A and B are shown apart, each in its own frame.
With several copies, the nearest count.
Chain A
Amino acid sequence: MKTLVQAFQAVPDPMARYKQLLFFATKLQPFPVEEHTEENKVKGCVSQVWVIAELRDDKIYWKADSDSQLTKGLAALLVQGLSGCTPQEIVRMPPDFIAQLGLQQSLTPSRNNGFLNMFKLMQKKALDMYMQQQAGSDSEGMAASASSGGDGAAGAGTAEQQQGSSNGNGNGNNSEASATPVADSIQRKLREELQPLRLEVVDNSHQHAGHGGYRGSATYSGETHFNVEVVSARFEGLTSIKRHRLVYQILDDELRSPVHALSLITKTPAEAGMA
């Protein structure tokens, strides 16, 4: 992915970049027409885009298609950059590289959003595959977990939290693989930034009906609602609003997209009787 980004950055003129995209588009493998389904379609694009994934040797290989040539070129960029990665790598990849592509200057927000949405759909598909892997390797039988949405969703959050680190894949990243990437990331960042005496992150996404099931359904959204309790000396002398702002600032990335709601309790050690 990095080399791709660099290659793309090297092209100075927007028109030349568009030419590049057209070139990428031509290099895409043919896309099976029968996969032009709602499930494979990227939402919120100005044009129609479809993405499918195939798992070979624990690695994902992508195919994509679009009725817009430029969008197809963007999709090709992602297909090329993300094919051959493990599901975990893709799930854990921060979307920063999109900004680095320098497309923002030449792409309008609607197209730019579309690009982000493509990446998100790919992450979702990667997560689904990871779940299937997990289910397969897990002897306690989460085999039925391919079921789409509905009741099976409740409690899934905690269940997976517990089995989270059971199967690291040595994928080169310094963090371990996890089924709860958002919760982990919240934990890690708050720990780093606030050196908390107490930190509790509870995913209660399952309480929020109407958000679709945990897996497979079209309105899939994963980890979306958290209760966080933090006790930290960093809060001393700060009003409640300022404490909250501080936390929101630290969790900026997490709150930008997947997390809908974050319920916060922020105490100083003194207030928590821990000083």
Chain B
Amino acid sequence: PAPQVQDAPAAAAAAADLGTATRADFPILHQSVNERPLMYLDNAATSQKPRQVLQTMDEYYGEGGYNSNVHRGVHALSARATAAYEAAREKIAGFINASSPQEIVYTRNATEAINLVANTWGAAQLREGDEVVLSVAEHHSNIVPWQLLAQRRGLVLKFAELTGSEEVDLEKLAALITPRTRLVSLVHVSNMLGCVLPTQRVAEMAHGVGAKLLLDCCQSVPNMPVDVQTLGADWIVASSHKMCGPTGIGFLWARYSLLEQMPPWMGGGEMIQEVRLEGSTYAEPPSRFEAGTPAIAEAIGLGAACDYLSGLGMERVAAHERELGAHLYWQLRSIDRVRIYGPSPEARLGRAALATFNVEGIHPTDISTILDSTGVAVRSGHLCTQPVHRHLGISSSVRASPYIYNTKAEVDAFVDALKDAIQFFT
């Protein structure tokens, strides 16, 4: 059954209801793991997919479907596939309030989107001695592409550190930004600390010296309203699989005028205007960046995921997560020997609905292994953020991250399971 579409409901009521309301849409959640009901709390790594998204992809491939290569096709299936593929672009554009669908470039995932910026704008614009400012809290995908480019181009990478409350330190950030800074690239919502970046303020800092701002929105686009008209970023990137969409697709957004300045990266079909043996001319964005047969079913699936989330209402999703996240945080805080990383939910911009923590004296993977044997799926390890782990003096951690289909009751059950696990090792 399709979820009820409500308009800006009272935050508390929405939060109480959303988990229960959406649960029926996610067939995968209704199973047992190790003879206990699955409790999926690894959503910051990947989300589950609602029936509606799976149906949309089945309708593409299956009975009465229209699987076919897109663009240039002159037959009916190709026409339908092209229309659906481009309609999905429009849905994504609408979801983040882009000015035009042509500002959405499909990529495999957010990682590829960052690499795309590094290898097009970055490779074309950045020169020896130019500075790129990041933070120690970045995901590896927002560090390694710049390290690779820095090696090629002789760039200087600078890393903003954390405040005492374990958010990105804006004062330190401001001090790192100089007239040589060409790019500031930061995580909007940290997948490890849960801290939220005041994007407009950072945009002012970056733009003040003529630098551009890229935001890694992997943990914000799925969880809160993100409006690129007010965000302040020049580029944002996000991944489908974390926002109810299929694997194998993600996107880059930039203002069209900026996309136009970016040279091509990968060569092949779709991205060309004319190919001659002596040289080729390239298509306008976004095609310029989409070489080869694209991830068609996946793009269409991501469009359906945007529809699904819009149907719920992103304000409602955010309210639900705010409530669930705060509950998770305070419950964990009440356990002896548990240390949660990142700011409290009372921080000015709040924190994401995820809690990364350690239990004194117990290895994170031991915790997650025991939790798994009771049906609870959480992540443990370095969470693809080794630098911030090192910065905090740890090598790994445990992370629980609820999403739209999780309930307060599940958070309580998780906390109980964690207490049992701690007991197990004591």
Please report the C-alpha to C-alpha distance between residue A211 and residue B380 in the assembled complex, in whole angstroms: 32
A70 contacts across to B, CB distance below 8 A = 363, 365-366, 369
B92-116 contact mask (Cβ, 8 Å, vs A): 1 or 0: 0010010110000000000000000
Q: Are B82 and A110 in contact (CB under 8 A)?
A: yes
Please report the C-alpha to C-alpha distance between residue A225 and residue B257 in the assembled complex, in whole angstroms: 10
B72-104 contact mask (Cβ, 8 Å, vs A): 1 or 0: 111110110011001000000010010110000
A111 contacts across to B, CB distance below 8 A = 74, 365, 369
Please report the C-alpha to C-alpha distance between residue A107 and residue B225 in the assembled complex, in whole angstroms: 38
B381 contacts across to A, CB distance below 8 A = 46
Q: Are B76 and A108 in contact (CB under 8 A)?
A: yes
A263 contacts across to B, CB distance below 8 A = 229
Whole-angstrom distance from the CB of B238 to the nearest CB of chain A? 17
Q: Sort chain A's interface into a size bin.
A: 35 or more
Q: Are A108 and B78 in contact (CB under 8 A)?
A: yes
Indicate whether A47 sits within 8 Å of B363 (C-beta atoms), given known contacts A14-B34, A18-B369, A110-B72: yes
Q: Are B257 and A260 in contact (CB under 8 A)?
A: yes
Of A14, A18, A67, A260, which one neighbours B363 at CB under 8 angstroms?
A: A67
Q: Say if the beta carbon of B227 comes within 8 Å of chain A.
A: yes
Q: Are A69 and B79 in contact (CB under 8 A)?
A: no
Q: Say if the beta carbon of A208 comes within 8 Å of chain B.
A: yes
Of A68, A108, A240, A259, which one neighbours B73 at CB under 8 angstroms?
A: A108
Q: Say if the beta carbon of A15 comes within 8 Å of chain B.
A: yes
A104-121 contact mask (Cβ, 8 Å, vs B): 1 or 0: 001111110000000000
Which residue of chain A has its CB nearest to the CB of B261?
A210
Indicate whether A241 sits within 8 Å of B79 (C-beta atoms), given known contacts A71-B365, A111-B74, A208-B257: no
Please report the C-alpha to C-alpha distance between residue A46 and residue B382 in the assembled complex, in whole angstroms: 9
Q: Are B255 and A261 in contact (CB under 8 A)?
A: yes
A208 contacts across to B, CB distance below 8 A = 257
Q: Are A262 and B99 in contact (CB under 8 A)?
A: yes
- Chain B CB within 10 Å — which of A69, A111, A208 has the most? A69
B75 contacts across to A, CB distance below 8 A = 108
Whole-angstrom distance from the CB of B394 to the nearest CB of chain A? 11
Interface residues in chain B, defined as those with a beta carbon under 8 Å from any beta carbon in chain A: 8, 34, 71-76, 78-79, 82-83, 86, 94, 97, 99-100, 225, 227, 229-230, 255-257, 260-261, 315, 362-363, 365-366, 369-370, 372-373, 380-381, 395-396, 424-425
What 9 pairs across the A-B complex have the smallest Cβ distances? A68-B363, A108-B79, A46-B365, A241-B227, A260-B256, A70-B366, A109-B82, A68-B366, A14-B373
Question: Would you list 18 pairs from A and B whose C-beta atoms are within 8 A, ordered by A residue?
Answer: A14-B373, A15-B424, A18-B369, A18-B424, A66-B363, A70-B366, A108-B75, A108-B78, A108-B79, A109-B79, A109-B86, A110-B73, A110-B74, A260-B99, A260-B100, A260-B257, A261-B257, A263-B229
